[in-house]
Amino acid sequence: MRAKATVIAPANIAFIKYWGTADWERTLPFNPSLSMTLRECVTRTTVEVLSREENDSVSLMTGEGSLEPAAEAFTRRVVPHLERLREWSGEEVSFRVATENSFPMGAGMASSASGFAALTLAVVAALGKQVSSEEASVLARLSGSGSAARSVEGGYVKWPAGEGNEGEHAVQVATADHWDLRDVVAVLQEQAKDVSSREGHERAPSSPYFEPRQRLLPDRLETVTQAILTRDFAALAHTVEEEAIDLHLIAMSSHPPIFYWRPGTLEVLAAIRRLRQEGAEVCATMDAGANVHMICTPESEAVVAEEIGAISEVSSLIHDGVGRGPMIVDEHLI
């Protein structure tokens, strides 16, 4: 029997955003980031090890539930990572990859984070290799999707920036059990965004607001870390929203500018501010897309879903929460 492994890896939602790449060769960021690992938004990937005479192949589960060869743009991102992992392992093999997402791809919902974390861990497992979580984080990061470095861990996860080993891999700040936060995603756009996050990282330093944000980040990182450790929602909410606005401020003022928001994004943001004034524990954050992640406590989840779900631009809600990280499973896709 050929060696095969399947991994389910989670997406994550950044509280402190990675925005701007300092080193493309090694996918190293200008700034540290911190995220909550999700539970429901996941990628399942099966990797089968083939002999070297065969070609690498990539298939993707369609909305209709059948596996089809992936589009060229998708394969073009996956195959170089397979190449990298092949080199790392020293094995003369090829891979058959099949992958499925539980949520819309490419719409600013970290599908590349869960995708490359799942791919990396499934290749490692299919080859029968053991790696530490630090090494898994480094390998996932080298895919080119830096946020994948954070998706190999559960709970609340920091990816430090800087010289030396520190910036190489993500570390867990607190476990999933430490704080039961929810993420209700207001889906405003299901199709892939027009400008990739890679493009956004490249353009970010051209914004006049890029440098000022760098100076604010050490304090923000400290505030968010302490808010998580002490479960202080008010402190968390303030900084998380500031960070989300700043990412988009930088995107909109980059050369050329990038507008990820839709009119519905502003409507949702206003409704969240109103809900907070009325006492709900909720704040908003957006990655590189129009969809709004509403971070809230379990007590506030129902009111958030009811109020935001009633906004006409919101096509659906995804109820998610903090997850425990990737798992190896037996249910293979191929």
> Which one of 47, 288, 290, 322 is in contact with ligand PMV (CB under 6 A)?
288
Least distance to ligand PMV from the beta carbon of 289, Å? 8
Binders of ligand PMV in range 200-229 (CB under 6 A) = 201
Task: Determine contact, residues 159/150, Cβ cutoff 8 Å.
Answer: yes
17 scored as a contact of ligand PMV (CB under 6 A): yes
**Residue 238, Cβ neighbours under 10 Å: how many?**
15
110 scored as a contact of ligand PMV (CB under 6 A): yes
Q: Hey, what are 319's tokens?
A: 């109820």
59 scored as a contact of ligand PMV (CB under 6 A): no
> Which one of 5, 6, 18, 100 is in contact with ligand PMV (CB under 6 A)?
18
C-alpha span between 323 and 35 (Å, rounded)? 11
41 scored as a contact of ligand PMV (CB under 6 A): no
287 scored as a contact of ligand PMV (CB under 6 A): yes
> Which one of 6, 99, 112, 285 is in contact with ligand PMV (CB under 6 A)?
112
Coil, helix or strand at residue 10: strand
Least distance to ligand PMV from the beta carbon of 92, Å? 30
Chain centroid to Cα 242, Å, comes to 19
> Which one of 37, 59, 99, 145 is in contact with ligand PMV (CB under 6 A)?
145
Q: Which residues, including other chains, have CB under 8 Å from residue 328's CB and lie 6 or more apart?
A: 5, 6, 7, 121, 125
The H-assigned helical ranges of 101-163 are 111-126, 133-141
Q: Between 178 and 197, how does the x/- string for binding to ligand PMV read (CB under 6 A)?
A: -------------------x
Task: Determine contact, residues 17/33, Cβ cutoff 8 Å.
Answer: yes
C-alpha span between 334 and 331 (Å, rounded)? 9
C-alpha span between 117 and 22 (Å, rounded)? 21
Task: Determine contact, residues 299/281, Cβ cutoff 8 Å.
Answer: yes
15 scored as a contact of ligand PMV (CB under 6 A): no
Instruction: Find the part of the chain contacting ligand PMV (CB under 6 A) among 49-57, 139-147, 207-215, 226-234.
Output: 139-147
CB nearer to ligand PMV: give 93 or 325: 325
- List interacting residues with ligand PMV (CB under 6 A): 14, 17-19, 33, 110, 112-113, 145-147, 197-198, 201, 287-288
